[in-house]
């Protein structure tokens, strides 16, 4: 069977890409080896943070502004709320990379924000009990996106436009020839003009040349029942991105399942094979998160409700890979989202559709080009 574009991997990025291709009238096939959505990759666990004051690099901010627009657009298409604005906190010491990076983005892009000391933060948002040497950048546009529901929304919207999306179909191999591609799965063989790879931690299975550049990593999320739940509810507790001596933590108000949600970037620094990763949670996983709750959010230090594993796929500089395959220009790759990518799914779907159909995009993706990791 022949298509204009085949998309491999229908998680956050792939589902949005299939939708944006379908809305342009493209004959598109999406292939996913697991369920849609599933709990073996990087997009499960209810929600993911979205924040406009971006500590990682000011170059992300124009993409974030477009991402917000496109999240609202898909909400209107499916008539469902997916983006929740809670306000956002970037916290650390005055000179920490998190605080200085957030302030740099706010200054360069004229983003509304407020710099607060720890006592001021505690008075306004009493769930935060940060030490006196920490400060916080409060940005009112921060919030979260419902990750699994967003994947479902994009897939259903794409199907309504005529896209074909198939789960439990594993890609065995692909070949580029004559300007097109041939993809063989465990069910069938397909042809297309263009291939898009959005396979998350399994990207190296599809494009082995990227294996040295992408490092999947085991991550753990925890939900604890607050002792003072009124401090951690939706509308009274902003999402946060917080740099501490113990690591960089992130968290959410209570939503969807019982408990206050918290994780630590890079958790226990465990490289992982996505095919064989330990998906059980252990006392040492809980302890590193429990210690942070006890120190910085003591009113949330109640019983553990849920622990879940997921995966980051890291590049060495923790910026994304968005590019064409260096050997085959008809193959486009989106990978290496390094634990901070989901918020961009809406705009990445637009960008990948641009690259697949036009070989270029109006958005500045210079920060994400593959050549920087090949040098």
Question: Domains in the chain and their CATH numbers?
Answer: 2-44+148-214+317-374 (3.50.50.60), 88-140+216-312 (3.30.9.10)
d(CA 36, CA 58): 33
pLDDT digit string, tens, across residues 70-94:
999 999 999 999 999 999 999 999 9
Q: What is the average pLDDT score of the chain?
A: 97
**Residue 177's pLDDT band (cuts 50, 70, 90):** confident
d(CA 135, CA 133): 7
- Which of 226, 234, 280 is closest to 258 using CA atoms? 226
> At a CB cut-off of 8 Å and minimum separation 6, what does 283 contact?
none
Distances (CA, A) of 94 to 15, 99, 117, 131, 139: 39, 6, 9, 12, 16
Residue 349, judged by CB atoms within 10 A of its CB (0-12, 13-18, 19+), counts as buried
d(CA 314, CA 309): 16
pLDDT digit string, tens, across residues 208-257:
999 999 999 999 999 999 999 999 999 999 999 999 999 999 999 999 99
pLDDT digit string, tens, across residues 29-68:
999 999 999 999 999 999 999 999 999 999 999 999 999 9
- DSSP H/E element including 148: helix 147-160
> At a CB cut-off of 8 Å and minimum separation 6, what does 178 contact?
none
């Amino acid at each position: 069977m022949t298509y204009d574009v085949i998309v491999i991997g229908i998680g956050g990025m792939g589902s949005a890409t299939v939708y944006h291709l379908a809305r342009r009238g493209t004959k598109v096939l999406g292939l996913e080896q697991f369920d849609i959505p599933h709990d073996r990759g990087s997009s499960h666990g209810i929600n993911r943070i979205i924040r406009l004051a971006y500590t990682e690099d000011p170059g992300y901010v124009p993409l974030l502004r477009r991402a917000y627009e496109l999240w609202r657009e898909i909400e209107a298409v499916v008539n469902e709320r997916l983006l929740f604005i809670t306000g956002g906190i970037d916290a650390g010491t005055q000179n920490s990379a998190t605080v200085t990076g957030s302030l740099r983005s706010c200054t360069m892009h004229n983003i509304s924000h407020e710099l607060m000391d720890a006592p001021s933060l505690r008075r306004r948002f009493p769930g935060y009990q940060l030490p006196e040497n920490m400060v916080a950048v409060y940005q009112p546009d921060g919030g979260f996106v419902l990750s699994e529901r967003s994947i479902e929304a994009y897939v259903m919207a794409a199907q309504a436009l005529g896209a074909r999306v198939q789960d439990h179909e594993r890609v065995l191999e692909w070949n580029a020839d004559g300007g097109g591609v041939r993809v063989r799965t465990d069910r069938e063989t397909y042809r297309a003009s263009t291939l898009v790879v959005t396979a998350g931690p399994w990207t190296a299975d599809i494009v082995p040349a990227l294996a040295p550049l992408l490092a999947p990593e085991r991550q753990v999320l925890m939900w604890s029942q607050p002792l003072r739940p009124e401090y951690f509810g939706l509308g009274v507790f902003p999402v946060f991105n917080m740099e501490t001596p113990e690591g960089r933590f992130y968290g959410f108000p209570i939503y969807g399942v019982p408990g206050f949600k918290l994780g630590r970037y890079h958790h226990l620094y465990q490289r992982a094979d996505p095919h064989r990763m330990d998906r059980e949670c252990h006392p040492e996983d809980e302890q590193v998160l429990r210690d942070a709750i006890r120190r910085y959010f003591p009113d949330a230090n109640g019983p553990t409700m849920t622990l879940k594993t997921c995966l980051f796929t890291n590049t060495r500089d923790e910026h994304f890979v968005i590019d064409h395959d260096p050997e085959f220009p008809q193959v486009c790759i989106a990978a290496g989202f390094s634990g901070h990518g989901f918020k961009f799914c809406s705009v990445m779907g637009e960008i990948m559709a641009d690259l697949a159909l036009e070989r270029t995009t109006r958005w500045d993706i210079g920060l994400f080009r593959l050549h920087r990791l090949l040098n």
